[in-house]
Amino acid sequence: MAVDPRKQTSLHCLYYWAETTPDKVYLTQPFSDGRVEDITWKEAADQVSRIAAHLNSLDLPERSNIAILGKNSAHWILADLAIWAAGHASVPLYPTLNGDTAAYVLEHSEARLMFLGKLDGTADGWNDIKDHIPEELPIISLPMSPRDDTPKWLDLVAETQPTEPKLPDPDSLATLVYTSGSTGQPKGVMHSFRTMISVADGLQQLFPVSGEERMLSYLPLAHVAERAAVETQSLYYGFHLYFANSLDTFQEDLQRARPTLFFSVPRLWMKFYLGVNAKLPPKKQKLLFNIPVVRSLVKKKVLKQLGLDHCRAALTGAAPLSADIIAWYRNLGLELLEVYGMSENFGYSHANRPGQAKVGTVGNANPGVEHRIAEGGEVQVKSPGQMLGYYKNEEKTREDVTDDGFLKTGDMGEIDSDGCLRITGRVKDLFKTSKGKYVVPVPIESRFNHPKAEVVCVAGANQPQPCLMVLLSEEARDELLSGRDRGELEQELARELDAVNAQCEAHEKLAFVVVVKEPWTMENGMLTPTMKIKRNVIEDFYNRKMDEWFGQKKKVVWEF
């Protein structure tokens, strides 16, 4: 199969659906005052055409880069489309960036204008970012923008006549995706319209996707995962896209959407899992799931409370997810499929197929994708979604792409006899103990599965043995801080430590588990915007305490 010629780019898709299904609802946006707005395909195309006309009136240089800053919203996607309809390229910024990084991206991308969307300064970086926006940068405020002193999207729509869109050449630059920056300054990954749409073309060969799907958009649209799995798919297939209002209303927003397809990252799958455990403890689950008459009713109720009872395909990516957690969801009746991709190939690389999932792997190479393991164990991939290169950094592009066109992923892995890829860690995450032995953290981390452990990190460079830092779930932290005895939990963590060490080589065995006090968040720099741990930041933060912890000679060390 190949890309439908009527839908060569995401912008082509918008006008195709506006013409063929004008009154069908495309976007549903809740607001903090309880209002919920539906936007049809015809209305979406009309707003995009009017804003494109306004952009044209500004006489910006041809093929300008235009920034979008804000949390996910219906108008975030409409702004993306309007930028393209005016012949420009979009530059999304993570709403959780700090001010210095936001300033760097705006300067490096040479952004000529910025769409400012949904931000409030509570769970985002607006309070820091606002002081780093160049004064001379023109701003257009989307609905829910924190500023009211700029031209507003809805006013511009009301007063501007629509223009004929400039439907783009599929091979022209569509967007600069700045990497989430787990180390160093983010890089601007250049994607064409063709590389972006390749993910939809490939998916139709893996999953039966139709215009009747429903998805909830809540992971950052500044990242390729949400852009590929949600924005591009909804435009290509013409299905209904819902948005979340806030973290507090997330469950309500999920219930409204009743998604048939759902994409999330391991940190959130873990949060869902821990949330269920808090209400229905694992021992009680085991008891109820073993009663034939009751188990199907209980499992359906759990999925319904999660808002996932209509979900027929659930994807997880961006970081490894424990096989035990995947098995728990599968036992509920939700087939959780691990997928794999990078900013550099627009997320189009590997996926587990429905009914053929191989837990512990990220599945087979997607249609049109080639993969291989290079000397030293690094995974290399050649994909239809592969980037045009890094913006203003040809040297780094040459460094990361081989002479025969394969992307050096920076991941270590193995390809089994079925052609399934298993990711075993990051090349740069390897560290040496003081005995000169190399430790690969990810496989060890994936073995530690305590129901109250939200996220873990193996550390211990230049120490006799590695150790494991554990961030407990919010519920578990609250219980301990309110004075609950920690003796039972300490024994459970010690047993889990023994179970993990039984599967490790001698030099990999964990000396102890540290229960950390400080939550790891995007705000304190310990998580990337896609909720992956920033290993170097975490290691630097705790490094000064390592000698003291080793000196305690305990299996479980408490930081509080």
Here the CATH number for the domain that contains residue 69 is 3.40.50.980
The CA distances from residue 523 to 27, 55, 106, 177, 532, in Å, are 29, 33, 20, 21, 13
Q: Which of 188, 210, 243 is the last residue of a domain?
A: 243
What is the predicted pLDDT for the residue at 282? Answer: 87
Same domain, 50 and 180: yes
Same domain, 392 and 444: no
Same domain, 449 and 417: no
Of the candidates 407, 445, 453, the residue with the CA atom closest to the CA atom of residue 429: 445
Same domain, 231 and 272: no
Same domain, 257 and 336: yes
Same domain, 257 and 153: no
What pLDDT band is residue 278 in, cutting at 50, 70 and 90? confident
Same domain, 401 and 485: no
If you average pLDDT over residues 110-129, what whole number do you get?
Answer: 93
**Residues 87/166, Cβ–Cβ less than 8 Å:** yes
Q: What are phi and psi of 558, to 5 degrees?
A: -105, 130
The CATH number that applies at residue 503 is 3.30.300.30
Q: Which of 177, 210, 243 is the last residue of a domain?
A: 243
Task: Kindly report each contact of residues 349-352 with a partner whose C-beta sits within 8 Å and lies 24 or more positions away, as own/partner.
Answer: 349/381, 349/383, 349/385, 350/381, 350/421, 351/206, 351/315
- Least confident stretch, 79-88, 127-136, 419-428: 419-428
Cα–Cα distance measured from residue 401 to residue 124, given in angstroms and rounded to the nearest whole number:
34
Cα–Cα distance measured from residue 480 to residue 463, given in angstroms and rounded to the nearest whole number:
29
Cα–Cα distance measured from residue 3 to residue 128, given in angstroms and rounded to the nearest whole number:
42
What is the predicted pLDDT for the residue at 408? Answer: 96
- Partnered with residue 455 across adjacent β-strands are 471
What is the predicted pLDDT for the residue at 180? Answer: 66
Decide if pLDDT at 1 tops 70: no
Quote the pTM value. Answer: 0.86
What is the predicted pLDDT for the residue at 545? Answer: 92
What is the predicted pLDDT for the residue at 203? Answer: 82
Same domain, 43 and 192: yes
The CATH number that applies at residue 390 is 3.40.50.12780
* Domain count of the fold of the chain: 3
Decide if pLDDT at 183 tops 70: no
Q: What are phi and psi of 418, to 5 degrees?
A: -90, 0
Decide if pLDDT at 219 tops 60: yes
- Least confident stretch, 124-138, 175-189, 258-272, 282-296: 175-189
Same domain, 190 and 63: yes
Residues 6+ apart with CB under 8 A from 271: 454, 473
**Residues 44/27, Cβ–Cβ less than 8 Å:** yes
Q: 533: how many CB neighbours lie within 10 A of its CB?
A: 23
Strands 313-316 and 438-439: unpaired
- Least confident stretch, 170-174, 200-204, 309-313: 200-204
Same domain, 375 and 304: yes
Same domain, 517 and 405: no
Cα–Cα distance measured from residue 103 to residue 105, given in angstroms and rounded to the nearest whole number:
6
- Residue 380: both structure tokens together: 């290399």
Q: Which of 383, 399, 426 is the last residue of a domain?
A: 426
Reported as a single tens digit per residue, the pLDDT across 501-521 is 999 988 999 999 999 998 998
What's the domain range around 387? 250-426
- Least confident stretch, 157-166, 176-185, 235-244, 551-560: 176-185
Decide if pLDDT at 472 tops 90: yes
Reported as a single tens digit per residue, the pLDDT across 377-406 is 999 999 999 999 999 999 999 999 999 999
- Least confident stretch, 96-100, 424-428, 546-550: 424-428
Same domain, 257 and 212: no
